[in-house]
Amino acid sequence: MKVKVDLEICESHGECGFVAPDVFELNDDDVLVWNPDPDESLKDKVLQAAAVCPTQAITVEI
């Protein structure tokens, strides 16, 4: 699974990190950092995070 985030359109609200904290996190500067190649066991949470992102910045390749 490959996870991409377009930081040009990410608005750093952090919804993805609430849904999938093992994959997405805001750093101390409120910039999103994420695991681009998370374990398959996290697939449902990653897809949920992509679905709740208000700017649709997250792309998931399964």
What whole-number distance in Å separates Cα of residue 53 and Cα of residue 30? 16
* Minimum gap (Å) between residue 41 Cβ and ligand SF4: 20
Identity of the residue, 46 or 57, whose beta carbon is nearer to ligand SF4 in the bound complex: 57
What whole-number distance in Å separates Cα of residue 62 and Cα of residue 12? 24
Binding site for ligand SF4 (CB under 6 A): 5, 10-16, 24, 32, 53-55, 57-58
What whole-number distance in Å separates Cα of residue 61 and Cα of residue 40? 11
DSSP 35: -
* Minimum gap (Å) between residue 34 Cβ and ligand SF4: 8
* Minimum gap (Å) between residue 6 Cβ and ligand SF4: 8
